[in-house]
Amino acid sequence: MPVPKRWVCQIGRIILFCYISDMFRKNAFRILINLLLTVGCLCSFILIIYGVKIKEWSTVTASLAVIAAILSTWNAQRLTWRQEDDYEPDVCVAFDLEKRSGLTLLSVKNIGGSNAYDLELKWDTPLLNLKNKEVNFTEVPVILKGQTFFKIVQGTVIFFDEVDKGLRSKIYSGTISYKINRKSNSSLKKPFFISLEPYRNSPRPSTDKHDYYLKSTRIPENLNAINDTLKQLKTLFNKLNEK
C-alpha cells in the first residue's frame, strides 16, 4: 500500500524541525543521557539482587561501585547542564513604573548569560501605547547580557482609569521569542504573564525619591528668584527714603 504524499511531507517537516531546533536537540540529548543512566542503575540493582541470591559478593560489590559511579556522573552532568542554562540568554517582560515618574513603561531585560537576537513579542491581548499601536521590540536586533529596553505605554493614572472603565485589560499575556544564536534557524519561545494590579495604591520609593530630587533641583532657582525680588524691594525702599 503506497504511503500518502501528505504523510511523507508531514514526516519530512517533523524531521526538519527536529534537525534545526536547537532546543529540541538539547532536550533530546539530555533525555537520552538520563535514560541511559537510569537503565544502568536498574541493571546494577538486578545484578545486586542476583549476586545476593547466589552469594556472589564480588558481583554485589562491583554493582554497588557502578551505581556510585552512575550517581556521581549524574550529579556532575546536572551541574554541567545548569551552567549551560545559565550561559544562555533569558529575556523577561515586565511593567516598569519607576523609571519615569507618572508613566507606565514596558521593559524587556536579558538576565541570562549571553546575548539574545531577533526579539519579538506575540500578545494574546494586544498591549497598546499612546498612539494606539501594539507595543513590541521587533526593531531590536540584539539585547546584550544585562541590557534592558523600555517602551512607553501610557500615563499611569490614565492606564488605571482605562482599566477601571474596561477599556484596557487587567492582565496581559503572550509569548516572547528570541534566538540564542544569530545564525540559528529556530527561536526560543517563552510565555509571559504581566499585570499592573500589584502596583495599584502601592508606594514606589524609587519614583517618590525621583520626584523629591526633581523638585529639589528647583530650590536654587526659587531662592535666586526670591533674592532678586528682595533686591528690587530694597532698591525701591531706598529710592522712597531719598525722596
Domain ranges of the chain: 5-82, 91-199
pLDDT tens for 194-225 read 998 888 876 654 555 556 555 666 777 777 88
> How long, in residues, is the chain?
243
The class (CATH top level) of 91-199 is: mainly beta
Which tens digits make up the pLDDT trace of 23-42? 566 777 888 888 888 888 88
* Average pLDDT of the chain, as a whole number: 81
pLDDT in tens, 91-141: 999 999 888 878 899 999 999 888 999 999 999 989 999 888 999 998 888
- Torsional class of 21: left (φ above 0), alpha (ψ -120 to 50), beta (otherwise): beta
Residue 4 confidence (pLDDT)? 57
CB of 134 closer than 8 Å to CB of 123: yes
Residue 243: band (very low, low, confident or very high) from pLDDT cuts 50, 70, 90? low
pTM of full prediction above 0.75:
no
Alpha-carbon distance of 238 to 243, in angstroms, equals 9
- Asked if residue 228 has pLDDT above 60, the reply is yes
Cell numbers placing 165: 472603565
pLDDT, greater one: 230 or 121: 121
pLDDT at 142: 92
Predicted confidence (pLDDT) at residue 22 exceeds the cutoff of 90: no
For residue 19, what pLDDT is reported? Answer: 45
d(CA 67, CA 35): 14
**How much is the pLDDT for 23?**
59
pLDDT of amino acid 20: 45
> Residue 228 and residue 221: Cα distance in Å, rounded?
11
> What's the N-to-C CA distance of the chain in angstroms?
122
Residue 43, classed as helix, strand or coil, is helix
pLDDT of 57-72, one tens digit each?
888 888 888 888 888 8
d(CA 243, CA 239): 7
